[in-house]
Structure 1
Amino acid sequence: MPTNPRYDPERRDRIIDACLDVIAERGVAGTTHRRVAEAAGVPLGSMTYHFAGMDELLREAFTRFSHSIADGFEARLGHEMTREQAEDAVVDLIQQDVFAGHRELVLSHELYTLAARDERYRELTSAWMARSRVALERHFDPVTAQLLDAMIEGVSIHSALDVTPTDRALIREAVRRIAR
């Protein structure tokens, strides 16, 4: 049965994913409907059909991104483990999961910049932090979870800006000191 080229149930998702790719490459300031449509391989008119404007698209994209980061926390910390294993999981989370790639670092910082200026994005980052802390609280008390969450964010900033990769042993020591 031939498919109707106008029927594309995955188009909206492709647009959101393409938006994140464009943001990672050009920043929020360089993200336009035209660039996102081109990256998604969709007609420009699809942008206004699926999204009321750029702000709605950015919020949808950053919501998807923040959920994927929080999902990573839950996957890494979502099962039973010893305290030492939980500490190692936090180190792995930093180095292998959420902030391991340049794309994730750039997207995080673009979102942080929006959140610093706009309450709606701050609500998004607050929800992200809350989910991250819930995952951390499976293994650490609430204060320690909050400190670890802040340390994870701080290490991500240093990793993004430093020309030398952050040493695993240093991250492990920081986690150990906070957790004990």
Structure 2
Amino acid sequence: MTGTRREVPNDPGRKDRILDAALDVIAEWGVHRTTHRKIAERARVPLGSLTYYFDGLDDLLAQAFARLADTMSELYRATLQKAASAQEAEAAVVDLICGPAYATARDMTLIFEMYAYANHNPAVATTTRAWLHRSRRSLALHFPPHVGQALDVLVEGWPMHRTFDRTPPDRALVAATVHAIVTGVPSPSGS
């Protein structure tokens, strides 16, 4: 018999809601104060739903951070794909650094939490490494690997500083820095 209750999910979006709620809770409370109960309350699901979909809190957090990395990577790539020239590619990198679409305050909080948690969780460390490589592949649409690596560090680092400095970056300075990297970073020896 098909269509039994066991075969048809009662709430097909529940897992996604739980992952979104987990990111909301992490952004508000930090990983260290995130609990199953807070996530279930935010997702408006029974507490037992979390153990149905996830093998514990570490698994739930790892999947939530993978969702964050996927979302950020897609935005990163989409921003770079729109560029039709070298000048537009540089401008796209400036947009990634200056935001606000790429790295909102909430995104930065989640990135900080992910990096710290990755230091102690192998699954999240793998997700973080994969994100780094996806970012560099997106930059490779327009830049050689050594330039892409330098730009990726800039795209990650400048918004981090912006978060703590609490002032928007000087867009002209960012553009000049990106241009200097693009035009002035020599190829590594042997390349």
TM over 0.5: yes
CA contact (8 A) 1:72 1:93 kept: no
Identity between Structure 1 and Structure 2 (%): 45
Q: What SS does the aligned partner of 2:32 have?
A: coil
Measure the CA separation in 2 of the matches of 1:122 and 1:48. 23
* Shift, 1:121, TM fit: 1.8
* CA deviations over 1:82-134 (Å, ceiling 9, x no partner): 111000011112213321x1110000000111122333222111100111111
* CA deviations over 1:27-48 (Å, ceiling 9, x no partner): 1011100000000011111111
- Does 2:139 correspond to 1:136? yes
CA contact (8 A) 1:148 1:175 kept: yes
The ranges of structure 1 where at least 4 consecutive aligned residues each deviate by more than 4 angstroms after the TM superposition are none
* Shift, 1:170, TM fit: 1.7
Name the counterpart of 1:20. Answer: 23
**After superposition, where does 1:1-180 map in structure 2 within 5 Å?**
7-79=10-82, 81-94=84-97, 95-99=99-103, 101-180=104-183
Name the counterpart of 2:189. Answer: none
Q: What SS does the aligned partner of 1:97 have?
A: coil
| Alignment gaps of 5+ in structure 1 | none
* Shift, 1:49, TM fit: 1.1
* Shift, 1:80, TM fit: 5.2
Instruction: State the AA in 2 paired with 1:137.
Output: A
Measure the CA separation in 2 of the matches of 1:78 and 1:128. 17
Aligned residues: CA RMSD: 1.4
Q: What SS does the aligned partner of 1:9 have?
A: coil
Q: Provide TM-score, normalisation by structure 2.
A: 0.87
Instruction: State the AA in 2 paired with 1:160.
Output: T
Measure the CA separation in 1 of the matches of 2:60 and 2:121. 15
| Alignment gaps of 5+ in structure 2 | 184-191
Instruction: State the AA in 2 paired with 1:78.
Output: Q
CA contact (8 A) 2:83 2:92 kept: no
C-alpha change, 1:91 and 1:80, in structure 2 (3 Å) is: closer
